[in-house]
Amino acid sequence: MDRLVECVPNVSEGRDKAILALLTEGIRSVPDVSLLDLHVDSDHHRSVFTLVGEPTAMAIALFQVIREAEHGIDLRTHHGQHPRIGAVDVVPWIPLRGVTMEECAGYAKDLGRRVGQELGIPVFLYEQAAIVPFRARLDVIRRGGLSGLQERMYQDSDWKPDFGPNVLHPTAGAVAMGARFFLIAFNVVLKSQDIQVARRIARTIRSSGGGLPALKAMGVPLPSKGLVQVSMNLMDFRQTSLRAAFHAVERESLRGGVDIQESEIVGLVPQEAWDVDLAMDLKLKDWNSERVLEVACGKYHLFPF
């Protein structure tokens, strides 16, 4: 295929294997789309699908995911550690080969329009697809969770969704859809049960707190492990690398007398962000070479770019 995009839909389900199997089967039924990775987290109650494929086929696969999630996920009974506004919470489009960022923004808008019209789910465009500039940041859209978003939609004309009704879907909420550069989701688990330790570290190292550039971070409890986690998004690994993010957490945790147990990468990483020593240096669990995007794509004969 001469034209390839990556899409990473984040679904608010990390516990029901039947629902995840249904979503996975739907994706695999679409020609010219490959499911490269599925990361399931029961504490976050969230799953991250990493897809690569031809843009038109990708739009078909993503619509199926959103439609099936609408049928199978009810946010009224959803309880997880990760912030979310929708059954399918966020759908980013990332250009890989023969596709521009502007085209990805267009694909996001086209799919968002269809989701709004056919499924009655409000869609908010973010990052490079944003139409309303102050809504470009995902954390701004998610602020206050479902209730906060609904209140803004009711009270502020600037918060009318880009597509779909001006009211949350009763079970599926809303969808944030956009186009962006590669994002690396990176979590570091601390040998501590104190959530305040993780939150202090997150506040110190993230960009908004004067820490590392292009880094978002939050402290998250992990009930299944009886531990806490610093959950990070590296918005641009060229500005803050995986190693730099890990060392920042390590420095702040040791300052508080807390050791690091392990770390994990959610989804895949581009080769440019990786080196052979990282798995050991970062105390990564369950790492293998197919978690590098180029290696995973090669398995499906999608390369070279």
Q: Is 247 a catalytic residue?
A: no
Helix axes 101-114, 55-72, angle to 10 degrees: 40
Give how far Cα 13 sits from Cα of 43, 176, 269, Å: 10, 16, 23
Which of these, 70, 64, 42, lies nearest to 51 by C-alpha position?
64
Give how far Cα 134 sits from Cα of 114, 128, 131, 184, Å: 23, 12, 9, 23
Do 180 and 128 meet the contact criterion of CB atoms below 8 Å apart? yes
Single out the catalytic residue among 39, 44, 79, 82: 82
Which of these, 76, 165, 82, lies nearest to 120 by C-alpha position?
165
Active-site residue list: 82
